[in-house]
Amino acid sequence: MKIVFMGTPEFAAASLKALVESNQYEIVAVVTQPDRPKGRGHKVMMSAVKEYALTQGLPVLQPERVKTPGFQEEMEKLQPELIVVAAFGQFLPKSLLDLPRFGCINVHASLLPRYRGAAPIHYAILKGETEAGVTIMQMDVGMDTGAMLSKVSVPVGPEMTQGELHDILKEKGAQLLLDTIPQLVAGTLQPVPQPAGEATYASLITRDMEKLDWNKTAEELHNQIRAFDPWPGSFTLLPDGKRLKIWKSRVLETAAQDLPGTVLRADSRGFWVACGQGSLEILECQPEGKKRMAAAPFINGKHVKAGDRLA
């Protein structure tokens, strides 16, 4: 079967790798986002999908927009029987969706119809879900609104980070893709429409979401910290105005009478912070210009003390 694969980040690369290593399909093209400047140095970087595709000698296309007539013509020349999409980052027009014999399918990192959109793994952790997963769906012109073909679910532990869940789901999604395509081709799958009334959305993660709001509950803050690990990270402001990233925490049942953001205790073991409800023990942090460290050596450096207020 001739397949065009469309994807960009590491999550998508796992699905492409599974297709290639299965030796069951001909990948006639890999479509990914154009190379972009990243990081502090703004070095131009290729996507994880492109990086893998080049190691396999696969043809790579990087259109700024897939809706242009020129790109449509390239796809028509390739005559794919199936288009597989995973975290690609662009909407596909109807003309492209209708092109392959077996349509276009999407590997989406949530249990649809929950968490449609760009950041489903972040939101599963952010909202304190105890279960997450991957759905493979038939694509239509909406945002993750197509009929569902298959699903796999995984438990989400109370300390699991976004990075840990991502690594589990990318492999689960890749295997689910390999299991789903033969059934799709054989016509044995029954597409299930998504119940629209149950839909929720996972919008893009933005910089203004990184700051910890100590007026929130300890559980909400704990979920934010692990949802933004390893990217983009959560931070608070120290009394001197410098940023302190918080990477690991633990919810304490202790009812704090102090104002939210007040350091309740700071000793050789770390420090506790009052929240809008409950309190949070900080286990791992990162001062400006430093590496991630356990909270204890940070406190030993006398950066904060009991009674200080974090903003």
Confidence of residue 110 (pLDDT cuts 50, 70, 90): very high
pLDDT surpassing 90 at residue 38: no
How confident is the model over 82-87, as a mean pLDDT? 98
The pLDDT score that the predictor gives to residue 42 is 79
pLDDT surpassing 80 at residue 255: no
The pLDDT score that the predictor gives to residue 67 is 94
287-306: per-residue pLDDT in tens? Answer: 999 999 999 999 988 789 99
The pLDDT score that the predictor gives to residue 309 is 96
pLDDT surpassing 90 at residue 225: yes
pLDDT surpassing 90 at residue 100: yes
pLDDT surpassing 80 at residue 63: yes
Average pLDDT for the chain? 96
Take residue 234 and report the two structure tokens written for it: 């959560």
pLDDT surpassing 90 at residue 73: yes
141-182: per-residue pLDDT in tens? Answer: 999 999 999 999 999 999 999 999 999 999 999 999 999 999
